[in-house]
Homo-oligomer: A and B are copies of this chain.
Amino acid sequence: MARLPTTADAYNAIAEPQRRKIISVLADGEKSVGELVEVLELNQPQISKHLKVLKEVDLVIMRKDGKQRIYSLNADNLKPIYDWLSDFAHLWTERFDRLESYLATLKKEGRNE
């Protein structure tokens, strides 16, 4: 079936370094395409193409403002990845086992509220 497309899910989308940079920049607040082009020093078409991938996996949200398109981060869809990795946290550090499991418990409780 060949490799999954980058638009298959968030895991595949964030495997690209430039897309991770875009995500990091957007974490500081929404940006227009032009602003992203400036900050990341990439060509405009590549930025637009990366944003298209991120939008398809719902990691960013687009809003129109005149001729500009404003993109903002939808970080919620990063959480499943974070949760999956959380299962291994106890393997790379012993010191915070109890604190991390406590945190995980709080998070699970939080889901149903």
Contact = CB atoms under 8 A, between A and B. Distances in A.
Interface residues of A, number: 37
A103 interface: yes
A96 B103 contact: yes
Report how many copies the assembly holds: 2
A39 interface: no
B110 A95 contact: yes
Interface string A61-78: 000000000000101101
Contact of A91 (B14, B73, B107): B73
A75 B103 CA distance: 20
A89 B82 contact: yes
Contact of A85 (B12, B76, B78): B78
Interface in A71-113: 73, 75-76, 78-79, 81-82, 84-89, 91-93, 95-96, 99-100, 103, 106-107, 110
Interface in A1-51: 3-4, 6, 11-12, 14-17, 20, 23-24, 27
Contacts of A76: 91-92
